[in-house]
Structure 1
Amino acid sequence: MDRVAQLRDEMRAGLDLVEAAKQPMPVGDAWLLHRLDPFDGSSVVLVGPQPGQLDRVLLRSRDLPGPRPTIEWVVPSPTGAHVAVGISTDGGEDATARVIDVASGAMLSDAVPHVFVSQVSWLADGSGFYARVSDRPLVDGIHPRVALHHLGGVTEHDDALAGAPKSVVVLPSGDALVVEGLGPTLTPTAIKRPGSDRWQPLLEPDAGNLVAMVRGDDLVGITTIGADRGRVVSIPIDSAADRATWTELVPESDGVARGMMPLDEHLVTCEIVNGAHRIRVFAADGTPDHTVDLPEPSGLDLLFGFGRGFGDPHVLPDGPASIVFHLGGFDRPPCPHRYDLATRELTPLMPVVRDERIVATWHRAVSADGYPVGYWHVRLRGTEGPAPALVYGYGGFNVAMHTPCHPTPLMPWLERGGCLLLPQLRGGGEEGLAHYRAALALGKQRTFDDLFAVAEHAVDTGIAAAGHLAFVGASNGGLTAGAAVAQRPELFRAVICAIPAIDLLDLPEHAVGSIVTEYGRADVPEHVAEWRRISPLQQLREGVRYPAVLVDQGEVDIRCPPERSRRFAERLSEIAGPTGRRVVLRERPHGGHVAGEGELWPVWLDFLITEVMESDG
């Protein structure tokens, strides 16, 4: 057996356990689950009368036509009569929304093409759904607009919702919110109340982050407007633009508020404190009640290495006074739990598995400008430093990364004597709004400096072995990986640049909105000058001994197209020549910007083990 196959087998049980932790969702009187194979990207949609009795296949990706068909998302209607599914082919993200009748299992004729990076949002009566779509194939450029599709009928495009990237979210109250933005900043700009046919203005598009639900005639939500670390506010819908009418329910605290869930008589917040999650409970008016007693450190993410955007729901309601969430840690794979707010009883919904071998400690490094950068050091008991270290980072788009989560795909690295360094780099959302904004546009170098500070701190404190560090970064993290190669080649022995934004002077024209915010604008000379200074492709120089580099690229990736990765790998290979370290360009056929962990990590770890653990030079 070759080592890639061996590594795949080593991580299979763990990834299957994570997949098994996913909880079915109610569909009328039945239950539904979308189960993914993390190794080949195939999936199946199951339905049944009970959560533990999902005995009917509603849809299987392998039965769909086209090259590498993928079920991107599954959204049941509020009535449970129908399920909307996003289907793409060839590894792309150009999904077509289709509708399945749950009772018969038949796929209806309804089809909404070019749904981009977005699920649909059903109308309260299940008669149709909103979707964010492009008016042409995504490969030809993204021109976003909001579509309203009526089941069995036409798809309308509301001219009032044209312009900047928008989506419409229908809330449990039946209210429809127009939300502007693409992840880093989300602002509700209009609302359509139940029974109304007009959009009522709310906030200006540049007001800032607010993710809200409707309670009566108020928006209740979590916001960074007026609070770097977030707060919970109540906003009268009829005077939303007048901040003098807002009521602060939960003030800014020592935790970074990332999510909020209003219940009948309570508010529940999800926060990050020193790299780990915390859940707090308040009365409906914001009066503090209690902090949920969780094992320390704990995390609420389901998948290792996949961060969450601002406002993403970590906890979900389960009746008027209880919540459900996935609870895990570095030593505990995620497990669904129910928490009763009245009795304060925390109940696992499946057996909790604990990996007593894993030890995790929280550290702070000091970046070039004096900023304290937090990071987790993860190892197995008995593995003492200095050890070969794998650093995995992102640092972008206000995404919160590396809260405690079992490192399932990286267990083969730990079991071979390595350790993990999991930094919370500026540009991410782990430490608040200022932490995110510090690395925008002219500040992007701060993300890279934070990474270098963490690596140096780990070496200086005896955690990591000098000359035996690897870095892995994907997408925006691939830009950071490229910076590690170009700026600090002596610090890292090997680097994985995955689906990287590797050439800032040649960003894809159809990368709408969020990339403009993140990296700057091509019509601002200062931004272009900074791109030229820090863009990894432009920084490569003759005569430098660069790390071993694996560039992993999807052939049909529209966010980070393959031509840029090819140029980066070709230039590195030219500089390395016959005596330099390895440069490998891996292009995945039918591969886009997203792939299953089991498709990626076995190949990546094989490369890193060879270069960092087994190679002398």
Structure 2
Amino acid sequence: MGSLAAPREALLPLSYPPARRDESVVDDYHGVLIADPYRWLEDPESEEVKEFVERQARLTDSVLEKCEERERLRRRITALHDHPRYDTPFKRGGKYFYFHNTGLQAQSVLYVQKDLDGEAEVLLDPNKLSDDGTVALTLSSVSKDGKYLAYGLSSSGSDWVTVKVMRIEDKQPELDTLSWVKFSSISWTKDGKGFFYCRYPAPREGHELDAGTENNINLNHEVYYHFLGMDQSEDILCWRDPEHPKYIYGTDVTDDGKYALLYIEEGCNPTNKLYYCKLSLLPHGLEGFKGRNEMLPFIQLVDNFEARYLFVTNDDTKFTFMTNKGAPRYKLVRVDFIEPESWTDVLPEDDKDVLETASAVNNNQLLVSYLRDVKYGLQLRDLETGALLHEIPVDIGTVYGISGKREDSDVFIGFTSFLSPGIIYKCNLAAGVPEMQIFREAFVPGFHRENFEVKQVFVSSKDDTRIPMFIVSKKNIQLDGSHPCLLYGYGGFNISLTPSFNVTRLVLTRNLGFVFCIANIRGGGEYGEEWHKGGSLSKKQNCFDDFIASAEFLVSNGYTNPRRLCIEGRSNGGLLVATCMNQRPDLFGCVLAHVGVMDMLRFHKFTIGHAWTSDFGCSDNKEEFHWLIKYSPLHNVKRPWEKGDSHRLQYPSTMLLTADHDDRVVPLHSLKMLATMQYVLCTSLGSSPQSNPIIARIERKGGHGAGRPTQKMIDEAADRYSFAAKVMELSWTD
């Protein structure tokens, strides 16, 4: 455990910067009047908002300067982070491509090699595109013939992407530049003449814009086809639906090049419509649509939002899809486009395990991964019948980045766990029995896995649902309630939190004595769609109950005590920990809420927030408003000492984290929450029992998280965890 040090400089109660309250802003939600005095903080271009941010930043800096373990954390995290990392290779046009980071490079570099034994060459190094590493390569796709790379660049963490093209043979850039791309893949046609992509109209035509700082709602997603060498203005508009401006699209081109698939989503639910266009039947090909105000002739295969359909493979008109239709844990189905009403099961839904991925490989086989109590399993099955051929053994952990095409007998498989920095396996399927060989393995100097242990426990929630939780600690700790504990959660959007390696968390465990835990609460995808639905919409409170039950388990079983229990979450997880803080301020010593959705009554009005109504509901609907107002973090900050509890009870020490270019969960959520907490708990009172600090860390040139440069990740980790160490009175042990 982290030892108690000699007394250090205490954090005195903070003097918070004043923030104007506009009491005139009141909204009527179905007859219920709700004040919104910090509405002005929604304008990122306002000088008053910029001044508010600057004052809060200075306050936070003054706190962090008193956090004694900050520099030691930074040095140790940096040292352990400095190890080579690789992504799984993928093959196109007879060449191999992979991403690699030597350790502390701001961004990973894309390499190409003619064969696995040949010399690797740098194809694209995004570190050369900016001085501070804030230009990230967030999208990449190699043409099927291996001649061209289309790649997307984002700046300062924004979701906006600019797509460019490079010739792979001589690594020379083409002139192609595609702007205002967002939530898009790049789908090359087999002839290599161009690709499908998705974009939005420019947020503000004719205005200079620091992309990523705007709050404008994202509407009217569109599908285009770009011909190499052409100006974006000449791209073919393939699909739009102005009657449904909130729809979001995705595309896929089959390996045989004959079909383009169109996925249509109306939110974040795992459901989609599915259309197809037979490219091989277009009289003049895609070129025939140049200059014509005519969209592609897509045919409706599935025209409702009852289930999700993901393409696996096809043999001419016979298609195999992964779906959750009538199968909340997913299954594989087959349909012949000649008889679109007739669907048959290829691989039925499992009784317990969740089908995560399915890849057609080695001509007539399927490589499938399952999630079993939040741990991955791998199987090889027959493509035609779905029959099990082989169980492929993997350790307890997470399988990711499966890379292989229908024609490939060699497949690459990524693996990680809490105590495994990363292994890439090369699996040979040509032999009768799959042969798993280590292709690459990451090693972290100074990390000794034998000093740690991992457990999985099951916690009974408020309604007796069993909630899995992973616990990572030093070996053989005494359960005497003295250990600092970091509890992490998410609980939303069908996303599963599975085991993964994290240098920073191991530093906390090794040098500050933390016990690190992940609670796999409802709302995620750990047990399929029923688990997801059990923590969404009217049942969202189950997420908070599950997380609180997990925290209570850690206390009652001697892992920690409330004063030393820190909770952390990001995005929907930021909402999670903020809500739990409101509901049980007595249970936690520190809260780290990253880029959280805090205003549950207005989130749908900004950027892509409207897509989240599938998980949350929407305040425009009377019934759903009453769900949301009960837990919305912004609207439920209360003084705990006024509830008849002890006068000494207060909110835990809190750090809200956001970033100026986060155009996913825009910063206004955290800014309004910060102003509200500081006012209600502190500045509105002459003498407040709230002595625990309430601060915000506001990243400059940062976004929601994707594409963040390495140094920014290290700096943020050192800041937030030194803050936690300070307020929980922890000190360093070597």
- Tell me if both proteins adopt one fold, taking TM over 0.5 as the criterion: yes
1:29–1:288 distance in 2 versus 1, CA, 3 Å: closer
1:611 aligns with 2:699: no
Q: Which residue of 2 aligns with 1:131?
A: 197
Which deviates more, 355-364 or 316-325?
Answer: 316-325
Q: Which residue of 1 aligns with 2:186?
A: 120
1:327 aligns with 2:423: no
1:44 aligns with 2:127: no
CA contact (8 A) 1:42 1:62 kept: no
Larger relative contact order (C-alpha < 8 A, sep ≥ 6)? 2
2:494 to 398, 402, 420: 398
1:373 to 451, 462, 467: 467
CA contact (8 A) 1:88 1:96 kept: yes
Which deviates more, 545-554 or 205-214?
Answer: 205-214
1:169 to 249, 252, 261: 252
Deviations 1:262-284 (A, max 9, x none): 22222222111112001122222
Give, as a single letter, the amino acid of the residue that structure 2 aligns with 1:283.
D
1:441–1:611 distance in 2 versus 1, CA, 3 Å: same
* CA–CA distance in structure 1, aligned partners of residues 281 and 150 of structure 2: 25
**Secondary structure, in 3 states, of the residue corresponding to 1:53?**
coil
* CA–CA distance in structure 2, aligned partners of residues 288 and 613 of structure 1: 54
CA contact (8 A) 2:538 2:627 kept: yes
* CA–CA distance in structure 2, aligned partners of residues 440 and 38 of structure 1: 39
Q: Which residue of 2 aligns with 1:583?
A: 694
Deviations 1:424-476 (A, max 9, x none): 11111011110001222221111111100111112222233343111111111
Deviations 1:486-536 (A, max 9, x none): 111111110111111011012142325531211112331111122111101
1:158 to 209, 219, 238: 238
Deviation of the 1:5 alpha carbon: 4.0
Q: Which residue of 1 aligns with 2:218?
A: 142
CA contact (8 A) 1:508 1:561 kept: no
CA contact (8 A) 2:402 2:411 kept: no
Q: Which residue of 2 aligns with 1:254?
A: 352
1:213–1:29 distance in 2 versus 1, CA, 3 Å: closer
Give, as a single letter, the amino acid of the residue that structure 1 aligns with 2:222.
R
Give the paired residue count. 599
Q: Which residue of 2 aligns with 1:8?
A: 74
* CA–CA distance in structure 2, aligned partners of residues 315 and 30 of structure 1: 13
Q: Which residue of 1 aligns with 2:554?
A: 458
Question: Aligned ranges for residues 66-145 of structure 1 at < 5 Å?
Answer: 68-137=134-203, 139=214, 140-143=216-219, 144-145=221-222
Deviation of the 1:550 alpha carbon: 0.7
Q: Which residue of 2 aligns with 1:559?
A: 664
1:211 aligns with 2:310: yes
Deviation of the 1:338 alpha carbon: 1.8
CA contact (8 A) 2:390 2:433 kept: no
Q: Which residue of 2 aligns with 1:305?
A: none
1:588–1:572 distance in 2 versus 1, CA, 3 Å: same
1:549 aligns with 2:629: no
Which deviates more, 43-52 or 572-581?
Answer: 43-52
CA contact (8 A) 1:324 1:339 kept: yes
1:67–1:429 distance in 2 versus 1, CA, 3 Å: closer
1:528 aligns with 2:625: yes
Q: Which residue of 1 aligns with 2:121?
A: 55
* CA–CA distance in structure 2, aligned partners of residues 67 and 278 of structure 1: 37
**Secondary structure, in 3 states, of the residue corresponding to 2:304?**
coil
CA contact (8 A) 2:358 2:367 kept: yes
Which deviates more, 256-265 or 21-30?
Answer: 21-30
1:180 aligns with 2:257: no
Give, as a single letter, the amino acid of the residue that structure 2 aligns with 1:23.
T
Which deviates more, 455-464 or 134-143?
Answer: 134-143
CA contact (8 A) 1:132 1:166 kept: yes
Give, as a single letter, the amino acid of the residue that structure 1 aligns with 2:506.
M
CA contact (8 A) 1:86 1:119 kept: no
**Secondary structure, in 3 states, of the residue corresponding to 1:88?**
strand
Aligned-residue CA RMSD (Å): 2.6
CA contact (8 A) 2:322 2:358 kept: yes
CA contact (8 A) 1:179 1:186 kept: no
**Secondary structure, in 3 states, of the residue corresponding to 1:246?**
strand
Deviation of the 1:193 alpha carbon: 2.9
Give, as a single letter, the amino acid of the residue that structure 2 aligns with 1:259.
T
Give, as a single letter, the amino acid of the residue that structure 2 aligns with 1:185.
P
2:674 to 559, 562, 569: 569
CA contact (8 A) 1:81 1:103 kept: yes
1:65–1:124 distance in 2 versus 1, CA, 3 Å: farther
* CA–CA distance in structure 1, aligned partners of residues 323 and 478 of structure 2: 42
CA contact (8 A) 2:329 2:350 kept: yes
**Secondary structure, in 3 states, of the residue corresponding to 2:676?**
helix
1:439 aligns with 2:535: yes
Question: Aligned ranges for residues 402-417 of structure 1 at < 5 Å?
Answer: 403-415=498-510, 416-417=512-513
* CA–CA distance in structure 2, aligned partners of residues 550 and 399 of structure 1: 24
1:183–1:100 distance in 2 versus 1, CA, 3 Å: farther
Which deviates more, 271-280 or 335-344?
Answer: 335-344
1:234 aligns with 2:334: yes
Structure with greater Cα Rg = 2
Deviation of the 1:314 alpha carbon: 4.3
Deviation of the 1:598 alpha carbon: 2.9
Question: Aligned ranges for residues 476-495 of structure 1 at < 5 Å?
Answer: 476-495=572-591
1:438–1:322 distance in 2 versus 1, CA, 3 Å: same
1:331–1:67 distance in 2 versus 1, CA, 3 Å: closer
* CA–CA distance in structure 2, aligned partners of residues 155 and 221 of structure 1: 30
Which deviates more, 71-80 or 427-436?
Answer: 71-80
1:222 aligns with 2:312: no
Deviation of the 1:383 alpha carbon: 2.9
Deviation of the 1:352 alpha carbon: 6.4
Deviations 1:12-49 (A, max 9, x none): 354444x6232343353544334458868444333344
The TM-score, its normalising length taken from structure 2, stands at 0.77
Deviations 1:143-163 (A, max 9, x none): 211121111122121245664
Deviation of the 1:57 alpha carbon: 5.0
**Secondary structure, in 3 states, of the residue corresponding to 2:338?**
helix
Deviations 1:347-368 (A, max 9, x none): 1102465722221111111111
**Secondary structure, in 3 states, of the residue corresponding to 1:158?**
strand
Q: Which residue of 2 aligns with 1:21?
A: 86
CA contact (8 A) 2:88 2:414 kept: no
**Secondary structure, in 3 states, of the residue corresponding to 1:233?**
strand
Which deviates more, 314-323 or 533-542?
Answer: 314-323
* CA–CA distance in structure 2, aligned partners of residues 352 and 563 of structure 1: 39
Q: Percent identity?
A: 20
Structure 1: 5+ residue runs without aligned partners?
Answer: 302-312
* CA–CA distance in structure 2, aligned partners of residues 314 and 322 of structure 1: 11
* CA–CA distance in structure 2, aligned partners of residues 68 and 375 of structure 1: 35
1:410–1:119 distance in 2 versus 1, CA, 3 Å: same
Deviation of the 1:64 alpha carbon: 4.8
Give, as a single letter, the amino acid of the residue that structure 2 aligns with 1:120.
I
Give, as a single letter, the amino acid of the residue that structure 2 aligns with 1:291.
E
Structure 2: 5+ residue runs without aligned partners?
Answer: 1-64, 204-211, 283-296, 642-649
1:94–1:36 distance in 2 versus 1, CA, 3 Å: farther
CA contact (8 A) 1:265 1:321 kept: no
Give, as a single letter, the amino acid of the residue that structure 2 aligns with 1:238.
I
1:178–1:602 distance in 2 versus 1, CA, 3 Å: same
CA contact (8 A) 2:591 2:655 kept: yes
1:161–1:505 distance in 2 versus 1, CA, 3 Å: closer
* CA–CA distance in structure 1, aligned partners of residues 629 and 349 of structure 2: 42
* CA–CA distance in structure 2, aligned partners of residues 531 and 358 of structure 1: 41
Q: Which residue of 2 aligns with 1:309?
A: none
* CA–CA distance in structure 2, aligned partners of residues 221 and 120 of structure 1: 20
The TM-score, its normalising length taken from structure 1, stands at 0.90
